Structure 1
Amino acid sequence: MRAVVYTESGDTSVLELVEREPAEPGPGEVRVRIVRAGVNPTDWKFRAGGMGELAFPEIVPGQDGAGVVDAVGPDVTDLAVGDRVWTMLAQHTRPGGTAQEQVVLPVGNVAVLPDAASYDLGASLGVPAVTAHRALTTSEGGPTRLAPGALAGRTVLVAGGAGAVGNAAIQLARWAGATVISSVSSDEKGALATAAGAHHVVDYRQADLVEEVRELAPDGVDLVVEVSPAQNLRKDVALIRPRGTIAIYANNGGDEVTLSVRETFSTNARFQWVLLYTVGHEALRAAAEDVTAAVAAGAYGVGEDHGLPLHHYPLEQTADAHAAVEAGAVGKVLVDVADA
């Protein structure tokens, strides 16, 4: 089988297309023939050495993908050969990710892909959708699971609604019944956030974010899904309602923040940090089930019509796919590993 690998940290030149023998699934594992793989910022950050030393001598990048189960290990009963599936955290704690034609994964890292869903959609779930689910389900008095009506009566502010996680948060929050406000940096990105389902969009470069959001939500917002805390956290504190939650999943634009203790105290708010690698099995499975339900209901999609343009690269151009994500491509970058 063909696989993209790297054996040292560095720029995209360390990625190499090689031939490897496919592995066999062990107990509690399945092997997936990958059709489409998703590329996330953590993929190039791991490759570039920004997340520490390499955990294995040779690594196949890629947390997310979609394909078909082609072998099952002993004791596997929930999945069968021929099942269409999507993956999450494929590269976590193991060297083999989704930038290869066949990957062996624990059943806990695989979910059934609804029949009507494309492989493009399946490969776009994983990190973005599960991150968004976690951000939306950790509030005091809020739901721990998402379903229609779970966020009814709540207002959610999604920072960076044109990004992959922002897009997922908008779609899932809208499906769960929330009123969704999204901040963006241009009219073009505003159009994408609106296509994703945001009820209101605020261009923070053209208007005062706090004033605009306060007009839409005079009592404040219940939940903020935050991608740029260095720039936005003080604004979030000014917008959050008492006992609300600010869920932070990235550090775009800076690694440090400064807050007034007194101003922050008065909010009685929760700061929820979100990193998928340590959220635990229960949270991952809950997200997989709820995201799959949203997809099955037709409430979650990809492409221009859903606010997430797609950019395709063949497997042999995985380096270009990494470079596109690193350069800030708007939308979702996918690697075409095999024909459907």
Structure 2
Amino acid sequence: MRYLPISLKTENAQIALIGNGEAALNKLRLLVKTSAQIQLYAPSPSLELATFLIQQPDSNISHLSHSFSSDDLNDVIAVFSCADDANENIRIANWTAEQNIPFNSPDHPSICTFFVPSIVDRAPVTIAISTEGAAPVLAKQIRAHLEHLLPQNTGKLANFARSLRTKVQNRLSNMNEKRHFWENFFNGDIATHFLAGNTQQANELVDDALENPQANDGKLYIIHAADPDMLSIKAARILQLADHIYQLEGLLGDIEDFTNLSRRDAQFTKISSNPNKPEDGELIMQIAKQARCGKMIVVIGDASTQKRKAKITNHLSSKDIQIEQLNSALPRVESVNQFSQAQF
């Protein structure tokens, strides 16, 4: 990544926006949704921009009728320059560079120090899709697909979870119990009832889960995949939850392609695909111990490692370890058109 996607706090902050026309209006429509105070420098606003300002009488916008200068950089956390004159955009970019203030100018990626991603907004849940200025239309197409996948009240679910954090923290002291609670919260009946509008039932289920906490039962997942693009939705979710991932040598896909789908604190171990390795006993004991401690373990390999996976599975089955096999389920997506038509 050449650019790091981050979320910038806008509460009690000022953002400068320069421009009179459509580009400035488009940025203003986004910025007005934030908590920042927007300083709009538009000496000669277009009819559309002026109309928008009239429609926002009590907003966080301050319309300033003078041109922007370097003196106006005081106390701003970011600058958006949408001037019609390219030289003016460059001049403002140079001013911001001198003071290390983030700068963006639509359609001028070479002078930008940050880009505004295409955003799926379910505040406080937001998904940002960025192509680092390379292909904005592609980002918009991906966003359109994600808009259909994410329920409109996802943000309310996140706020519901936030309201419970202190309660959960006080009631559950065991980290494994907490993790089990939150996994069930988002993947089970609590979220289902809440998203359906049954808040009373959701709260009752929360109280019941806190009264009868359960730690995760350890489990081993054998994922058969050579390519992360071939993972099923369930396999991808399991990778995101796994505590320890064992990658069999000989896997055609780059391990980084799989680690990108996992938790940042997950452990990774590369193991031999030879089914007759003498250290198998030690490996089996290690996986069994992790599973009995409530850990979620993944062994991932392609068809060429089938014998090795079978041997690990047979040994652990005899030790009463829960095991689930997950096969590839999705065809590789070769185009954005295929992506938009994919059945999830």
TM-score under structure 2 length normalisation = 0.28
Higher relative contact order (CA 8 A, sep 6+): 1
Higher strand fraction (1 or 2): 1
Higher helix fraction (1 or 2): 2
* Structure (1 or 2) with the larger CA radius of gyration: 2
